[in-house]
Chain A
């Protein structure tokens, strides 16, 4: 065996090892550090009103979803109509527009509708880092005091909404009212 052939071997083993690790990491798993902690701080421009600065305080006050999205993310399109539907049912949704370009993001909202109350524009992913964003789309559930109570990685399909979100939202809303 010549040394030259060792190179592809090493490469192949590295890639295979990586895939094996990748399989172990369940990307939908909850990242424990953030659950039940206050929403991390940020200070960003608003996507729709560039003159306005948004902070985490704008997201806090009632039970709300924080949805991380980007116009280049095809899974985001898949869930977008569901977000619009949720908003129509009276659930507050805030957006974190992640590593995106403003015109593209605005076009995205014009096309699919805008279910978001506030949208923070995060072109460099600074806030995304604080919030521990893995990949778009991700959705956080905040209680009325601004604590993160649940997180879902990947698109919100009907089943996820039915099983993971709606019961929790109901419960948190009841807690807040009492």
Chain B
């Protein structure tokens, strides 16, 4: 009964979304208050019904209702209860349900926290979100309904993919979807601005916190995915340039560009048209990601079970989004107008440089991802583009970007003085060069590219520190000084420092990681990166739904005990022919030690992979810093100080506008 109720709730939510896509929009055009206000109630209703549908699917999992096809495919009797909750989004159909549920959450959040939006703007934003909701819910119901019944019901389900039975996987998809769905909100703001023909500093100030929060979620999602791949796939890698990883990375790159372009729009009223374009592009890339992952055009370890109908449907959504918003853009963008001018050496010009580099990087990754498919589609034969391509094009774009990160934040808007900047930054530059050149020597042999990367890392960290100290000023008392720092300012520097830490970890681990494949018998020892690994024993153990062979490996350094690690080779009951490696790690500030179990090679001997991974810890810390920098910046008081305008119409706001712009510049 529950699955039918869930299905019914999902269909009702679709109907409400359909109304939400039309009624507020009509209201905004006619200036009809009650129609505009309907948007909020419709969004609320949508959330209630989607929550109901989501709960129904969860109940089907908890109750082992294998007459629901999706449950039968992704769960079984012995699956631990916590994974029954997470299996709800472990497959294609359920992950879409989670997606639309999160979209409804964001929509309600926009409706609730939008006191500073004029009613027309809010009505339009909610209408666009309604359209997005219609698209995704129709997709779910028509091509991928999680409530489809399986008659007759099998006695037991197959299983949740063992790769996904892991704590990292519990939160990775929701975070990623939070990011994707947040980009839909940003897109809705952009479309609302185009419909209204109004884009000014106030608009930028409304959309900036939403963009920043969505970006932070996307950052967390990608970081967590990488973290999961690092220990779960058992290959010691953390990024593979896999099409599915790229699918999440593409919108991240344009969203990062958008954050910076929005800063110019808010503070200087510039880059307006470009900002809109980036918002549209970012959202389109999230749909493109869904297309790549769920249509089967690309083979990948991550790919969901695929179906050409789904591909066609998503492609249709992508086409409607792009053609629709570009037409609107062509028609309305000239109305939006250009911003103030700026000199060649100013914060604007460097942010422009940032935007160009990020968009070019995005284009390069995009080409590498779809090129093989494009050649195939045009019958020109097939090629595969591997990490060599991505490494070759991506790094040269990122190094100048890192350099700009050190310069731009302390530069004045409009017109900077190059000589003064050189004078001010000469010491940080000199220190960064020396530090960067010496740093690699603490880990291993000197390498010019690593030294260059570390110089840039030191450069960002030092200039960030200098800028914060400068902003602290000479006020009396530490408390007063700290209060002088605005969250948006601190958040920006936190995110930049996080980026520097990630770059540091990448440079270090790519240059100095050490790995060995060894054959060990009980009592034998192998050495990697100065650590001695001794295989003590191999046991067979029984997990909740798998049998495992578990090795006990003692790690020592110079005779001193470091840790005892227990890597496993798991045979899940549902697919005993496909063993899964469960690596064991000892994480540290300056290095990770990583042991992964290979095969039984006769007698008491096993192959083992031993890794020494310097500075990996900082990759995760850097990612967290970036995301939390984003959350901190979005929490800035200035976004919340705006007056309650929910009863105010656009015309009145427009009359207020000159003063508004002054505030923004102040």
Which residues of A are in contact with B by a Cβ distance under 8 Å?
Answer: 1-2, 5, 8-9, 12-13, 15-16, 18-27, 70, 72-75, 77-78, 81-82, 84-85, 98-99, 107, 110-113, 125, 129, 133-136, 153-155, 157-158
Contact = CB atoms under 8 A, between A and B. Distances in A.
Interface stretch (B9-17, B198-206, B319-327, B483-491): B319-327
A8 B297 contact: no
Contacts of B609: 111
A8 B326 contact: yes
Contact of B578 (A13, A18, A81, A154): A81
Contacts of B376: 22, 25, 27, 134
B299 A153 contact: yes
Interface string B236-272: 0000101000000000000000000000000000000
Interface string B460-489: 000000000000000000000000000000
B386 A99 contact: yes
Interface string B214-246: 000000000000000000010100001010000
B598 A19 contact: no
A80 to B, nearest CB: 10
B326 A12 contact: yes
B315 interface: yes
A23 B295 contact: yes
Given A27-B299, A113-B607, 10 more contacts: A5-B329, A18-B373, A19-B370, A19-B373, A23-B312, A26-B308, A72-B387, A113-B598, A134-B376, A153-B299
Interface centre among B233, B295, B374, B384 (most CB of A within 10 A): B384
Interface of B: 233, 235, 240, 242, 291, 295-297, 299-301, 308, 311-312, 315, 318-319, 322-323, 326, 329-331, 333-334, 370, 372-374, 376-378, 381-384, 386-388, 517, 575, 577-579, 598-599, 607, 609
B315 A74 contact: no
Contacts of A113: 598-599, 607
Nearest to A8: B326
B514 to A, nearest CB: 12
B301 A70 contact: no
Given A9-B326, A111-B517, A113-B607, A129 B381 contact: yes
11 contacts: A15-B370, A22-B297, A70-B386, A73-B384, A82-B577, A111-B517, A134-B376, A135-B372, A135-B383, A153-B299, A154-B299
Interface centre among A85, A111, A112, A129 (most CB of B within 10 A): A111
Contacts of A15: 370
B598 to A, nearest CB: 7
A10 to B, nearest CB: 11
Leading 10 A-B pairs by shortest Cβ distance = A21-B377, A72-B386, A134-B382, A5-B330, A22-B377, A110-B517, A154-B299, A22-B297, A23-B311, A22-B373
Given A8-B326, A18-B377, A158-B575, A23 B599 contact: no
B242 A74 contact: yes
A19 B291 contact: yes
Nearest to A20: B315
Contacts of A19: 291, 297, 315, 318, 370, 373, 377
B608 to A, nearest CB: 10
B454 to A, nearest CB: 25
Contact of A22 (B300, B319, B374, B384): B374
Nearest to B386: A72
B300 A74 contact: yes
Nearest to A26: B308
Contacts of B599: 84, 113
A137 B308 CA distance: 21
Contact of B319 (A16, A21, A129, A158): A16
Contacts of A155: 299, 301
A100 to B, nearest CB: 8
B330 A21 contact: no
